[in-house]
């Protein structure tokens, strides 16, 4: 399949697509990302799509290109009074923040084309949204609850909708929006195009897709579940009641870096943020209970660098797009591989490097190990930074800053310095001055070292004997895990049938909560990969991809 890699549109491209590509060029991008190239493949035109790619890879613009290719010419309204919006496109997002970001991205992408984008997200005055809807938008972007409200009150007329997009479909189901989605989709003409966008495609999302899509085609910018290549993954084993101390040491080791800390509940977000604030960190909590205005102020301060640390729940962090997040800290370890992928994807965006750090309580070690393996991640296990580590790093950083500082040019200060040196012991003088440097004075917290245990065998793992001299293995991932009934015996039967190989060519089988990983001998890996790509009538929803 040939895919366009430059921003030059094909000669047969519709006007909207040409104008969108021109907007990308004006934005300063020299080429399309992998997922943006993939959606423009000629054989996908007119198809329902299931778009998956890692976070930060340009999925929103990719969706915009798909929309642009499907839009019909815009007919200006002849009405002089207010009338319901009759959009061509409805895009549904799980959170206000994500909906606002998507609307802003599509706004610049469609600039100059005459296509208007109207966000309806809640958290704002309804009359403001009604005014935006009255300006005849081509695209309406909304959260499920507010969008359904507008459809029911008649301020949005869905009879002209040609395309509907579900963004972050997995999170919408996780957040309990299934009923709202069903109600919205029932009001949209059946001959529409229906596209789903998600970083992962667990079974509930596939079931939703099967219900509302026709002959859908999968588009992957990166393979499903593949960990972000620009992220370094680190895990620290800690005592459960010392996670807070370990977090303090992590933040003091690298001050000045934007950090996103994930916790499980709103109460945890408030408690952790309050403790960090008490210790002098620039921090705020982000949870679903915040008013939209307060949430926006917090995120704006984070983007500017006025605020360096945000403690967030998973729901509150949906749609958070700040390019310079240096690291993500999992204060509460994620429950499954999909959640780890979503969280860690908040860093390492737009070509920048990032770090994902798991603070793993000792009792949760085996469970966290299974989650990381299911996510295709092999972290570096290190002791949590100690107080001595913090002191050493802060001293080194301070000394380097002194070495790069220009010599004093002010005669008065130089004379004062000479006076101080003549009247005081030099070591005592420097020590007294260091007490006034916040970074040095803060020091570190004592954290109990917890060694990583030697593992005699992983749980939920079947390992077949490998003959002496056998060739190495290649790993493959299956979107079938323990939650949906996978076990080593059933997975072995599936992969042998789908891959056309015998069980003697299979190595270890690792069963995770929602995905599993198998090993295939390298001598069979190429033919196996080719075989499992072919559609299978018995397992249409099961996909096997290189890990």
Domain with 465 in it: what CATH number?
A: 3.30.70.330
Q: Are residues 290 and 243 in the same domain?
A: yes
Is there a contact between 494 and 478 (Cβ–Cβ < 8 Å)? yes
pLDDT of residue 106: 94
Nearest Cα residue to 273 out of 255, 240, 293, 251:
251
Regarding whether 487 and 520 lie in a shared domain, the answer is yes
Distance (Å, whole) CA 320 – CA 394: 31
Q: What is the pLDDT of residue 463?
A: 40
Residues 6+ apart with CB under 8 A from 296: none
118 DSSP β-pair partners: 140
Flag whether 212 is in a domain. yes
Same domain, 141 and 182: yes
pLDDT at position 223 is: 52
Do 135 and 195 reside in the same domain of the chain?
Answer: yes
Report yes or no on 453 lying in a domain.
Answer: no
Of the residues 342, 368, 385, the one at which a domain ends: 385
Residues 46 and 91 in one domain: yes
Distance of CA 304 to the CA centre of its chain: 20
Domain span at 518: 461-546
Q: Could you tell me if residue 448 is inside a domain? A: no
Residue 203 within any structural domain of the chain: yes
Segment (H or E) for 497: helix 488-499
Residue 8 located in a structural domain: no
Question: How many domains are contained in the chain?
Answer: 4
Q: Where is 371: in which H helix or E strand? A: helix 365-374
Nearest to 173 by CA among 64, 318, 311: 318
Judged on CB neighbours under 10 Å (0-12, 13-18, 19+), 470 is middle
Q: pLDDT tens digits, residue range 299-312?
A: 889 988 889 999 99
Cα radius of gyration rounded to whole Å, the chain: 27
C-alpha to C-alpha distance for 208 and 181, rounded to whole angstroms: 10
For the record, the structure tokens of 25 come out as 């060029």
pLDDT digits (tens, 9 = 90+) for 342-365: 888 888 776 677 899 999 998 999
Give whole-number Cα distances, 361 to 77, 131, 242, 243, 261, in Å.
61, 51, 9, 8, 16
Residues 373 and 412 in one domain: no
pLDDT < 70 positions in the chain: 1-14, 54-56, 76-81, 123, 174-175, 199, 222-229, 288, 318-319, 321, 350-351, 398, 400-409, 436-442, 454-471, 482-485, 513-514
Last residue of a domain, one of 220, 255, 290: 220
Q: Does residue 507 contact residue 519 with C-beta atoms inside 8 Å? A: yes
Integer CA distances (angstroms), 333 to 2, 58, 236, 367, 496, in order: 41, 27, 11, 9, 34
Question: Do both 175 and 275 map to the same domain?
Answer: no
Check whether residue 103 and residue 179 sit in a common domain.
Answer: yes
Computed from CA positions of residues 84, 169, 42, 227, in that sequence, does the dihedral angle turn out positive or negative?
Answer: positive
d(CA 430, CA 432): 5
What is the pTM (predicted TM-score) of this model?
0.58
Tokens matching residue 165 = 């997009």
CATH number of the domain residue 363 falls in:
3.40.50.300
pLDDT of residue 2: 39
List residues bridging with 236 in a β-sheet: 359, 382
Q: Is 336 left (phi over 0), alpha (psi -120 to 50) or beta?
A: beta
Instruction: Give the pLDDT of residue 78.
Output: 57
DSSP-derived secondary structure for 229-288: TTEEEEEEEE-GGGHHHHHHHHHHHSTTSEEEEEESSHHHHHHHHHHHHHTT--EEEE-T
Q: Is residue 454 part of a domain?
A: no
* C-alpha to C-alpha distances, 354 to 228, 328, 507, 516, nearest whole angstrom: 9, 8, 33, 26
111: buried, middle or exposed (CB in 10 Å: 19+, 13-18, 0-12)? middle
Q: For residues 113 and 146, state if they share a domain.
A: yes
**Same domain, residue pair 278 and 300:** yes
Q: Note whether 197 and 110 are same-domain residues.
A: yes
What 8-state DSSP symbol labels residue 128?
H
Q: Are residues 138 and 193 in the same domain?
A: yes
Q: Give me the count of residues in the chain.
A: 547
Task: List the strands of the sheet with 231-238, edge to edge.
Answer: 283-286, 309-313, 258-263, 325-330, 354-361, 231-238, 380-383
The runs of H, that is alpha helices, within 49-138 are 59-70, 96-109, 126-133
In a domain, 226, yes or no: no
Cα–Cα dist 25/359, whole Å: 42
Asked whether residue 132 is assigned to any structural domain, the reply reads yes
* Residue 461, number of CB atoms within 10 A of its CB: 14
Strand arrangement, sheet containing 163-167 = 117-120, 139-142, 89-92, 163-167, 193-197, 49-52, 217-220
301-to-34, 97, 149, 280, 308 alpha-carbon distances in Å: 31, 15, 32, 17, 8
pLDDT attached to residue 224: 45
Single residue among 385, 404, 424 that ends a domain in this structure: 385
pLDDT for the residue numbered 418:
77
């Amino acid at each position: 399949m040939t895919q366009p890699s430059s921003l030059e549109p094909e000669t047969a491209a519709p006007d909207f697509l040409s104008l969108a590509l021109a907007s990308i060029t004006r934005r300063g991008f020299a080429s399309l990302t992998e997922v943006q190239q993939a959606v423009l493949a000629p054989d996908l035109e007119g198809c329902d799509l299931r778009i998956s790619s890692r976070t930060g890879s340009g999925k929103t613009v990719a969706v915009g290109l798909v929309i642009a290719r499907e839009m019909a010419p815009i007919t200006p309204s002849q009405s002089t009074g207010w009338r319901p919006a009759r959009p061509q496109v409805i895009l549904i997002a799980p959170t206000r923040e994500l909906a606002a970001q998507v609307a802003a991205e599509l706004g610049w992408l469609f600039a100059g084309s005459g296509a208007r984008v109207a966000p309806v997200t809640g958290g704002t005055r309804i009359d403001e949204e009604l005014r935006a809807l009255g300006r005849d938008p081509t695209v309406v972007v909304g959260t499920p609850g507010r969008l359904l409200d507008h459809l029911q009150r008649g301020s949005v007329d869905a009879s002209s909708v040609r395309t509907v997009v579900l963004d972050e479909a997995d999170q919408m189901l996780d957040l309990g929006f299934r009923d709202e989605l069903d109600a919205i989709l029932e009001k949209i003409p059946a001959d529409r195009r229906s596209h789903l966008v998600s970083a992962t495609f667990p079974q509930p999302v596939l079931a939703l897709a099967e219900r509302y899509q026709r002959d859908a085609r999968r588009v992957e910018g990166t393979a499903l579940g593949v960990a972000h290549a620009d992220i370094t993954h680190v895990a620290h084993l800690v005592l459960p009641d010392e996670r807070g101390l370990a977090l303090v040491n992590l933040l003091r080791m690298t001050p000045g870096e934007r950090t996103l800390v994930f916790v499980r509940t709103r109460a945890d977000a408030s408690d952790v943020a309050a403790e960090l604030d008490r210790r002098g960190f620039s921090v705020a909590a982000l949870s679903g209970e915040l008013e939209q205005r307060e949430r926006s102020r917090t995120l704006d301060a984070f983007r500017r660098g006025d605020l360096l640390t945000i403690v967030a729940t998973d729901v509150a962090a949906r749609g958070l797009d700040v390019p310079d997040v240096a690291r993500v800290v999992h204060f509460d370890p994620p429950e499954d591989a999909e959640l780890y992928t979503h969280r860690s994807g908040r860093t390492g965006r737009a070509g920048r490097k990032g770090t994902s750090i798991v603070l793993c309580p000792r009792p949760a070690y085996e469970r966290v190990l299974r989650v990381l393996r299911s996510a295709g991640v092999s972290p570096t296990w290190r002791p949590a930074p100690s107080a001595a580590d913090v002191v050493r790093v802060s001293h080194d950083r301070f000394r380097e800053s002194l070495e790069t500082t220009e010599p004093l040019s002010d005669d008065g200060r130089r004379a004062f310095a000479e006076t101080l040196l003549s009247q005081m012991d030099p070591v005592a003088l420097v020590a007294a001055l260091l007490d006034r440097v916040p970074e040095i004075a803060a020091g570190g917290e004592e954290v109990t070292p917890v060694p990583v245990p030697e593992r005699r065998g992983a749980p939920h793992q079947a390992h077949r004997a490998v003959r002496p001299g056998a060739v190495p293995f290649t790993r493959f991932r299956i979107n079938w895990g323990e939650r949906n009934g996978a076990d080593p015996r059933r997975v072995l039967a599936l992969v042998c049938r789908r891959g056309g190989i015998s069980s003697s060519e299979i190595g270890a089988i690792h069963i995770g909560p929602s995905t599993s990983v198998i090993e295939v001998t390298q001598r069979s890996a190429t033919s196996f990969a080719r075989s499992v790509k072919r559609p299978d009538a018995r397992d249409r929803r099961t996909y096997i991809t290189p890990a």
